[in-house]
Structures are given as C-alpha cells and as structure tokens.
Amino acid sequence: MKGHNMKTMRRDPDMLEEYDFSKGVQGKYAKRYREGTNVVVIDPDVARVFPDHESVNQALRSLAEIIKRQKGRS
C-alpha cells in the first residue's frame, strides 16, 4: 500500500465505507515481518480443525517427527 493515500483507497471497490482505520497504526508489525515471518493461509476446513497457531504448530511438529522416523528406517 506504499504510496497510497486515503483518497486513493476510497476509490478502491474493495474498501467499504464502514472500514475505519482512524485508530490504525502504520507499520505496527513491520519489525516482526523484517525479522522473518512465514504467513501460511489454510483452507477453511483445516482451520475448523486447527483453530489457532499453537494447534497448527503442534500438529506440524508431530508430523515432522513421524517423517524423521520414517526417513531413518529407509
């Protein structure tokens, strides 16, 4: 959104009038992303099973352990 101003955003058909960014903070998460972040979008059916990042991480750690064990057998 760099270089965009409110007038430009108001012409954006995806920006509804009820969106209120008046209390938004520009760059609030910029440092976190600079430090390295992997954003993964999961499908809705998967999201219903894993409702938060802790459950996703635990499931992936368990799967990673299974994969490591399987590779050790071959």
Domain extent listing, the chain: 42-74
Question: pLDDT by residue (tens digit) across 7-45?
Answer: 555 578 888 888 888 888 999 888 888 888 778 889 999
The amino acid sitting at 57 is N
Q: How far apart are CA 59 and CA 57, in angstroms?
A: 5
pLDDT of residue 70: 94
> pLDDT tens, 46-71?
999 998 999 999 999 999 999 999 99
